[in-house]
Structure 1
Amino acid sequence: MACSAHAYVRGNTARFYDWLEESSQDAIPAGPPVWICGDCHVGNLGPVVGADGRIQVVIRDLDQAVIGNPAHDLIRLGLSLASACRSANLPGAVSVKVVDALLDGYARAFTRRPHHKDAPETIKALLREAIGRSWKQLVREHLTHTQPHIPLGKRFWPLSKAERRAIAALLSPDALGPLAVGLGIARPDDAVRMADAAYWVKGCSSLGRPRYAVLLEIDEAGGHTRLAMLDIKDAPPAAAPRTTSSAMPRDNAERVVAAAMALSPALGERMVAVRLLDRPMVLRELAPHDLKIEPDHMPPAAIDEIGAYLGRIVGDAHARQMSAAQRKAWHGILRASRSSQVDAPSWLWQAIVDALASHERGYLQHCRRHIALIG
Structure 2
Amino acid sequence: MKTPRPSARMPHLTQLRNLKMARSAHAYVRGSTVQFYEWLHSLPGRRLPSGPPIWICGDCHAGNLGPTGDNNGRIDMHIRDLDQTVIGNPAHDLVRLALSLATAARGSDLPGVTTARMLEEMMLGYAQAFKDKPDEVPPRPSQVKAGMRSAVERTWKHLARERIDDVRPTIPLGKHFWALSRAEKSALQALCGSDELHHLVTSLKGRPKDAKVELMDSAYWVKGCSSLGLLRYAALLRVGDKDDQEYCLIDIKEAVGAAAPRAARAKMPRDNGRRVVEGARQLSPGLGERMLATRFLDHGFFIRELLPQDMKLELDELSEIDAMHAAGYLARVVGIAHARQMDRATRRDWMAMLQENRSRQLDAPSWLWTSVVQLVGSHEQGYLDHCRRYALEH
- Asked whether the two chains share a fold, i.e. TM above 0.5, the reply is yes
Task: Determine whether 1:82 maps to 2:102.
Answer: yes
Residue correspondences, number: 373
How does 1:204-215 map onto structure 2 within 5 Å? 204-215=225-236
Alignment partner, residue 331 of structure 2: 311
Name the SS for the 1:194 alignment partner: strand
1: CA distance between counterparts of 2:222 and 2:206?
A: 24
Alignment partner, residue 16 of structure 2: none
- Alpha carbons 2:200, 2:291 under 8 Å: kept: no
Alignment partner, residue 304 of structure 2: 284
Cα distance 1:164–1:200, how it changes in 2: closer, same or farther (>3 A)?
A: same
- Alpha carbons 1:68, 1:242 under 8 Å: kept: yes
How does 1:358-373 map onto structure 2 within 5 Å? 358-373=378-393
- Alpha carbons 2:34, 2:259 under 8 Å: kept: yes
1: CA distance between counterparts of 2:203 and 2:354?
A: 40
Alignment partner, residue 13 of structure 2: none
In the alignment, structure 1 segments of 5+ residues that lack a partner are: none
Task: Determine whether 1:234 maps to 2:232.
Answer: no
1: CA distance between counterparts of 2:249 and 2:318?
A: 29
1: CA distance between counterparts of 2:194 and 2:88?
A: 40
Amino acid at match of 2:374: D
The match for 1:118 among 125, 129, 139 is 139
Cα distance 1:234–1:205, how it changes in 2: closer, same or farther (>3 A)?
A: farther
* Shift, 1:302, TM fit: 0.9
Alignment partner, residue 69 of structure 2: 49
Amino acid at match of 2:357: S
Deviations, residues 218-257 of structure 1 (Å, cap 9, x unaligned): 224x812211110001111100011013201000000000
Task: Determine whether 1:197 maps to 2:243.
Answer: no
Alignment partner, residue 190 of structure 2: 169
Alignment partner, residue 140 of structure 1: 161
* Shift, 1:104, TM fit: 0.8
Task: Determine whether 1:267 maps to 2:287.
Answer: yes
Alignment partner, residue 19 of structure 1: 39
More off after superposition, 134-143 vs 290-299:
290-299
* Shift, 1:181, TM fit: 2.1
- Alpha carbons 2:138, 2:329 under 8 Å: kept: no
1: CA distance between counterparts of 2:292 and 2:196?
A: 13
* Shift, 1:17, TM fit: 0.5
2: CA distance between counterparts of 1:174 and 1:29?
A: 45
Identity fraction in percent: 51
Cα distance 1:179–1:309, how it changes in 2: closer, same or farther (>3 A)?
A: closer
2: CA distance between counterparts of 1:258 and 1:117?
A: 26
Task: Determine whether 1:131 maps to 2:152.
Answer: yes
**TM-score where L is the length of structure 1:** 0.95
In the alignment, structure 2 segments of 5+ residues that lack a partner are: 1-20
Alignment partner, residue 361 of structure 2: 341
Cα RMSD of the aligned pairs, angstroms, is: 1.9
Name the SS for the 1:169 alignment partner: helix
Cα distance 1:366–1:49, how it changes in 2: closer, same or farther (>3 A)?
A: same
Task: Determine whether 1:216 maps to 2:210.
Answer: no
Deviations, residues 18-67 of structure 1 (Å, cap 9, x unaligned): 11112334531111000000000000000000112110000000000000
* Shift, 1:211, TM fit: 0.5
Deviations, residues 245-302 of structure 1 (Å, cap 9, x unaligned): 3201000000000000000001000000011211110010011110011122744431
Cα distance 1:113–1:191, how it changes in 2: closer, same or farther (>3 A)?
A: closer
2: CA distance between counterparts of 1:116 and 1:217?
A: 35
Name the SS for the 1:306 alignment partner: helix
- Alpha carbons 2:26, 2:103 under 8 Å: kept: yes
1: CA distance between counterparts of 2:91 and 2:227?
A: 28
Alignment partner, residue 72 of structure 1: 92
* Shift, 1:8, TM fit: 0.3
**TM-score where L is the length of structure 2:** 0.90
1: CA distance between counterparts of 2:75 and 2:155?
A: 13
2: CA distance between counterparts of 1:58 and 1:94?
A: 25
Alignment partner, residue 8 of structure 2: none
